[in-house]
Amino acid sequence: MSLILKEWPRAFLYGVLLATSLGGLPASAGAGGLYQKAGGIEAYIGFVPAEITQGHAATEADKPMHDGVPRGHHQYHLVAAVFESGSGARISDAMVTAQVSGLGLSGPRKAMEPMTIARTTTYGAYFELPGADLYTIVLTIKRPGATKPVTLKFTYDHRNP
C-alpha cells in the first residue's frame, strides 16, 4: 500500500479537526462584497435559496423560523454573522435590520431575527430577489446601551445565481 493511502485517514482527520476548531472564529476577508466593518463591528452576510431552510428547527416554541418559509422561485434567506472588531466575539444581543434593494431601487426593510445554531448566533430574514441584479444590502445594527446604530453597506451580485 502506498504511503499516500496509509496517511490519508490521518490527514483527513487533521483537516476536519482544523476546520472545526476554526469554525467559531471570524474569517479574514477583503474590503467590500459580503464583508464590512465600521464602528467597532464586523459583519459577514450570505444568501441561500429559501427552500433550503425548509424543515429547520423553530426559533421559538411552536413558531416557525421567521414566520415560515415563503413560497416562490425568487425567495432567499439572508444570513448575517456579526462580531466585535477588537475581540472577534460574536454579537448576539443586537437589534439588526436589513434593507435589500436592486440597482436604483429602494427595497423593503425587515427586522432580522436572531438564530442560534450550534451555540452561535446569526441573524436572518427572507427577501425576494426577483431577478438578475446587483443588490445593495444595508444592515443597521443597534446594540443595547449604544447611543446610535452602526450601518454597514454591502454589495451582492445576483446576476449569475
| 61 in any annotated domain | yes
Q: In whole numbers, what is the pLDDT of the chain averaged over residues? A: 78
Kindly report, residue by residue over 40-59, the tens digit of the pLDDT: 999 999 999 888 776 544 44
| 148 in any annotated domain | yes
Kindly report, residue by residue over 10-20, the tens digit of the pLDDT: 444 333 333 33
| 24 in any annotated domain | no
pTM: 0.72
Cell of 160: 449569475
| 147 in any annotated domain | yes
Classify residue 122 as exposed, middle or buried by CB count within 10 Å of its CB (0-12, 13-18, 19+).
buried
Which CATH number covers residue 58? 2.60.40.3340
- 140: pLDDT strictly greater than 50: yes
| 150 in any annotated domain | yes
The length of the chain in residues reads 161
How many structural domains does the chain have?
1
- 72: pLDDT strictly greater than 90: no
Q: Which domain holds residue 48?
A: 31-157
| pLDDT reported for residue 22 | 34
| 25 in any annotated domain | no
% of the chain with per-residue pLDDT over 90: 53
| 82 in any annotated domain | yes
% of the chain with per-residue pLDDT over 70: 68
Phi, psi of 63 (to 5 degrees): -125, 120
| 49 in any annotated domain | yes
Tell the residue number behind the cell numbers 446594540, with chain if given.
143
Q: Does residue 121 contact residue 83 with C-beta atoms inside 8 Å?
A: no
| pLDDT category of residue 67 using cuts at 50, 70 and 90 | low
